[in-house]
Amino acid sequence: VTCFTGKNGRMATLGEETLRATLVDLLRDRVPHASAEVLAAFRFVPRHLFVPAATVAEAYADEAIVTRRDADDLPTSSSSQPTIMALMLEQLGIQPGDRVLEIGAGTGYNAALMAYLAGRGGSPAGRVVTLDIDPETVAAAAGHLVKAGFPEVEVVCGDGADGHPEAAPYDRIIATVGVWEIPQAWARQLAPGGRIVAPLDLGGVQLSVALERQGDTWRSVSAVPCGFMRLRGPAAGPERTVSLDSRLKLALPRGGSVPDVLTFLGGEPVRRASGVSGGPLDVFGGIGLRIATGEARACALWEKVSDAEEPYLAEPVIRFGDMAGAPGLLDDDGIAVLTGDDGDGFGVFGHGSSGGRLADDLVRHVQTWDAAGRPDADRLVLTVLPLDAETPTGATVMPKRHTKILVEFAPAP
């Protein structure tokens, strides 16, 4: 590949330029109503300088790239998938001259994209501060940003839940790490008329929500399904994922004790049919969201499928490569899991002594979701309220530590 000096004086190669242009074409297709500014940012910022261990081809694929792992080999830092980054930058709507705070510096790539957006038109007031809890990640991100031509981005080591009051107020605050609750510090550090975008956990379903202030409440203006690693530190949520054996994992979005699920699954199941037809996409943003927000007993099972062993999930409703998954309901005496549509609509298997009752409840959720016009994340409206605020009788309310979230769905268009 031939080297040349690009418009900003950076050395570039024709290979990188072409790959970056191809990624931008892909984002134009995959991001509905992608704006010219956000696409220009992806066109300008060289992602490969932020992921030096990846090949240039990997750097410009529309994939997340894990950059750090803990002692158990679980990812602790990554460069997120460009499509979700672009969707979130559209939600954030950075204006020239904006002061922006990012929680989760990671590689520094998103901070560079935001510095481009805040500084466009030569806006001198535009500035970006990015925080990460891990000192080595901070040092690496700062190095990448200098190398890529963004030395003005401030990279700070700290717990993002506290924000960064030293440079407040901010016009935009974005988290690129999953949060269980919107920290109060962010609300305090946001300028009037500002916007927060964060991957928020709603009982096991994660949505990137854009929130704006309305009096002493926060209201969502958009929500996009996503899947980020979780915030670490004291503000982490109660959710946990437990390995039941070498191939089966149980996700408990509200934490709590783990009953003997393997024994439940070993018994003869009851099967119910919902009569509601659909596929995996209806589960993610639709049925899954309803169960996650409206059920204290919500759980999910994830199984690594192998030809060598009889699967636990007989008719899995979700398949990704060799992973099978299903949302469900769990109590101390049994579990019910959603299964795929076999012609009689989504089904449910109930296991254990309470399996039949849990299966009936799960079927009811599927049918109620269908009767309500199959609402999904596009119709979701969240209101973040003080803990002592009144909420309508019968409303779906998710209690958090310092706030509660009222969950509503706008009527079908």
Ligand X SMILES: C[S@@+](CC[C@H](N)C(=O)[O-])C[C@H]1O[C@@H](n2cnc3c(N)ncnc32)[C@H](O)[C@@H]1O
* Cβ-based nearer residue to ligand X, 112 or 398: 112
* Cα(374)–Cα(409) distance, integer angstroms: 10
> For residue 10, how many C-alpha atoms fall within 13 Å in the half-sphere facing its CB?
17
306 is a catalytic site residue: no
> To the nearest whole angstrom, how small is the minimum distance from the Cβ of residue 144 to ligand X?
9
Asked whether 5 and 27 are in contact (CB, 8 A), the reply is no
- The active-site residue out of 77, 79, 80, 208 is 80
391 CB-near residues (< 8 Å, 6+ apart): 385, 397, 404, 406
Site string for ligand X, 109-148 (x = CB under 6 A): xx--------------------xxxx--x-----------
Q: Does 78 bind ligand X (CB under 6 A)?
A: yes
Structure token pair of residue 324: 């099978």
Q: What are phi and psi of 7, to 5 degrees?
A: -55, -35
Alpha carbon of 367 to those of 141, 166, 291, 370, 371: distances in Å? 48, 51, 12, 5, 6
Query: Which residue do the tokens 């002061």 mark?
Result: 99
Query: Which residue do the tokens 């946001």 mark?
Result: 190
> To the nearest whole angstrom, how small is the minimum distance from the Cβ of residue 127 to ligand X?
17
* Cβ-based nearer residue to ligand X, 148 or 161: 161
Q: Does 355 bind ligand X (CB under 6 A)?
A: no
Q: Does 87 bind ligand X (CB under 6 A)?
A: no
Site string for ligand X, 43-62 (x = CB under 6 A): --------------------
Structure token pair of residue 32: 């509905």
Q: Does 104 bind ligand X (CB under 6 A)?
A: yes
- Among residues 100, 231, 276, 318, which is the contact residue for ligand X, using CB under 6 A? 231
- Please state whether the peptide bond connecting residue 169 to the residue before it is cis, i.e. omega within 30 degrees of 0: yes
> To the nearest whole angstrom, how small is the minimum distance from the Cβ of residue 115 to ligand X?
12
Q: Does 232 bind ligand X (CB under 6 A)?
A: yes
Q: Which neighbouring-strand residues pair with 304?
A: 323
Find the part of the chain contacting ligand X (CB under 6 A) among 71-79, 300-308, 360-368, 377-385. Answer: 71-79
> To the nearest whole angstrom, how small is the minimum distance from the Cβ of residue 158 to ligand X?
7
- Among residues 79, 206, 274, 383, which is the contact residue for ligand X, using CB under 6 A? 79
Q: Does 184 bind ligand X (CB under 6 A)?
A: no
Closest CA to 311 of 356, 362, 245, 240: 245
* Cα(29)–Cα(39) distance, integer angstroms: 11
Structure token pair of residue 119: 């500084």
* Cβ-based nearer residue to ligand X, 198 or 283: 198
Q: Does 161 bind ligand X (CB under 6 A)?
A: yes
Q: Does 106 bind ligand X (CB under 6 A)?
A: yes
Decide: helix, strand or coil at residue 183. coil
* Cα(393)–Cα(390) distance, integer angstroms: 9
Asked whether 111 and 139 are in contact (CB, 8 A), the reply is no
> To the nearest whole angstrom, how small is the minimum distance from the Cβ of residue 45 to ligand X?
10
Query: Which residue do the tokens 């004086």 mark?
Result: 9
Q: Does 206 bind ligand X (CB under 6 A)?
A: no
Find the part of the chain contacting ligand X (CB under 6 A) among 159-167, 203-211, 243-251, 348-356. Answer: 159-167
> To the nearest whole angstrom, how small is the minimum distance from the Cβ of residue 199 to ligand X?
9
* Cα(205)–Cα(405) distance, integer angstroms: 14
Q: Which residues of 171-185 are buried (b: 16+ CB within 10 A; e: fewer)?
A: bbbbbbbbbbbbbeb
- Among residues 159, 315, 333, 408, which is the contact residue for ligand X, using CB under 6 A? 159
> To the nearest whole angstrom, how small is the minimum distance from the Cβ of residue 323 to ligand X?
20
Find the part of the chain contacting ligand X (CB under 6 A) among 155-163, 193-201, 209-217, 219-227. Answer: 155-163
* Cβ-based nearer residue to ligand X, 115 or 223: 115
Q: What are phi and psi of 217, to 5 degrees?
A: -120, 170
> To the nearest whole angstrom, how small is the minimum distance from the Cβ of residue 67 to ligand X?
7
Catalytic annotation, residues = 80
Contact footprint for ligand X (CB under 6 A): 76-80, 103-104, 106-107, 109-110, 131-134, 137, 159-161, 176-177, 228-229, 231-233
